[in-house]
Amino acid sequence: MKQVVSTERLPIKMWLNDLEPGALAQAKNLANLPFAFKHIPLMPDSHQGYGMPIGSILATKGVVIPNAVGVDIGCGMCVQKTSLKSIDKDNLKQVLGEARKLIPLGFNWHDEAQDEAFMPDMDFENLLIVNRGIHKARKQIGSLGGGNHFIEIQQGSDGFIWVMIHSGSRNLGHSVATHYNKLATKMNEKWHSVVTKKMELAFFPIETDEAKNYIKEMKYCVEFALKNRTLMMKRMMQALETVCGAFETDEMINESHNFAAWENHFGENVLVHRKGATRAFDGELGMIPGSQGTKSYIVKGKGNPESFNSCSHGAGRKMGRKQAIRELDLEAEIALLDEQDIVHAIRNKSDLDEATSAYKDIDIVMENQKDLAEIVVELKPLAVLKG
């Protein structure tokens, strides 16, 4: 932990020294919520989001806040180790070509609904928003999405090839989040709540039907996001096998970083909202990616109670998307990746929102959270697919 802000109702505990003013203002809003519990942890990748900083954790008593989970419910990462030891650059390009045939990128979907067996084995009949979007979801499962979502082939410090995927619940999670945040905002205005519309932290009391419905739909979206990553990983392994021949794999590691769950902390049962934060219980395996041009890490959680057993979900942005496109130099960013011989996804000026220099220094991020997670394997990027 780097510093503590003690000016608000609850302390704000920070694992970074470079928090932007907008994110600090949002953290102060969290700290002054009457139902916020104990303190507000900010991870070393924290930056401003909607209502709540990305890379923060909020434990509440008696309420759930849709915007404290975010619009991409269940967004997270998975990683799988293969028995392959190396892949040359020509083969990497072929693998990416095969992957593009199997996995829609960006706003693209599958032309046909995917097998129902790939979908979550959960009852969605009584879930209003999920039920409305379920047919579209069957075409979106196994697709990457845009923004900062990626598929990366990596060389591990253990000598093996790994595949990492970052993706979420596609349109399904967005629809659920938007519906319930709007509903909560209307209800809060009707109650003349101290949580104003401008704060973007509208809530439901946990005993209300609205809260119960949101939590059920959120859980479905978290499971859908996992199934989405699982299917993409299955198809990445198909692409690898097509080019490289047969190989073995370890069990896939998965961690969501946009969700809310009941947990016991400091002797009390609270609803822990993680928005761009990875769970890091003692001994729990997770992953912390860098950017297209930097290392990622397999980590083991240390179960630090001060962070509500959490760590960062990545390097974190240091530049907004529009700022990065406006200010970064395309040739310099391409050269940065080419020097490392990475098969990357920077082609045009519009791609600079995901350039290496748009992100914080992953080495500093990892150093700042040594008390939260232990590095198990370092992963060097070899080839990247972006949405």
SS (H, E, C) 231-258: HHHHHHHHHHHHHHCCCCECCCEEEECE
Q: By C-alpha distance, which of 254, 306, 263, 280 is closest to 366?
A: 280
- Give the DSSP letter of residue 74: T
How is domain 3-318+359-386 classified at the CATH fold level? Answer: tRNA-splicing ligase RtcB (3.90.1860)
List the structure tokens of 211.
């809260």
Task: Write down the pTM of the prediction.
Answer: 0.96
> How are beta strands 12-14 and 40-47 bridged, if at all?
parallel
Query: What pLDDT does residue 293 have?
Result: 87
Q: Of the residues 149, 257, 313, 344, which is catalytic? A: 313
Name the H helices within 254-387. Answer: 321-327, 330-338, 362-368
Has 313 been annotated as catalytic? yes
Alpha carbon of residue 107 to chain centroid: 18
Query: What pLDDT does residue 260 have?
Result: 98
Report the distance separating Cα 24 and Cα 47, nearest Å. 9
Report the distance separating Cα 37 and Cα 380, nearest Å. 38
Contact 357, 324 (CB under 8 A): yes
- Please write down the long-range contacts of 350-355, taking CB distance under 8 Å and 24 or more positions apart: 350/325, 351/386, 352/324, 352/325, 352/328, 353/321, 353/322, 353/324, 353/325, 354/148, 354/150, 354/291, 354/292, 354/324, 354/386, 355/291, 355/292, 355/324, 355/328
Query: What pLDDT does residue 122 have?
Result: 77
List the structure tokens of 184.
């909560």
Bridge partner list, 12:
5, 40
Query: What pLDDT does residue 124 have?
Result: 67
pLDDT in tens for each of the 387 residues of the chain?
999 999 999 999 999 998 999 999 999 999 999 999 999 999 999 999 999 999 999 999 999 999 999 999 999 999 999 999 999 999 999 999 999 999 999 999 999 999 999 999 877 678 999 999 999 999 999 999 998 999 999 999 999 999 999 999 999 999 999 999 999 999 999 999 999 999 999 999 999 999 999 999 999 999 999 999 999 999 999 999 999 999 999 999 999 999 999 999 999 999 999 999 999 999 999 999 998 889 999 999 999 999 999 999 999 999 989 999 999 999 999 999 999 999 998 989 999 999 999 999 999 999 999 999 999 999 999 999 998
Q: Give backbone dihedrals phi and psi of 202, rounded to 5 degrees, phi first.
A: -60, 145
Residue 167 host element (H or E): strand 161-167
Query: What pLDDT does residue 27 have?
Result: 98
Query: What pLDDT does residue 387 have?
Result: 80
